[in-house]
Amino acid sequence: MGTAATNGSTGERLQKLLAAAGFGSRREIETWITAGRVTVRGQVAKLGDRAVPGDLIFLDGKQIKIAASKGNPRVILYHKPIGELVTRSDPEGRPTVFDKLPKLSPGRWVAIGRLDLNSSGLLLFTDSGELANQLMHPRQEIEREYEVRVQGGLSEDAVRQLLAGIELDDGPARCKRLEPLKTRKDSGSNRWYRVVLAEGRNREVRRMVEAVGGRVSRLMRVRFGSVILPGHLSPGRCVEIEPAQLRALVSERQT
- Catalytic residue, from 90, 116, 157, 169: name it: 116
140 φ/ψ angles, rounded to the nearest 5 degrees? -70, -25
Residue 116 falls in the annotated catalytic set: yes
Residues recognised as catalytic: 116
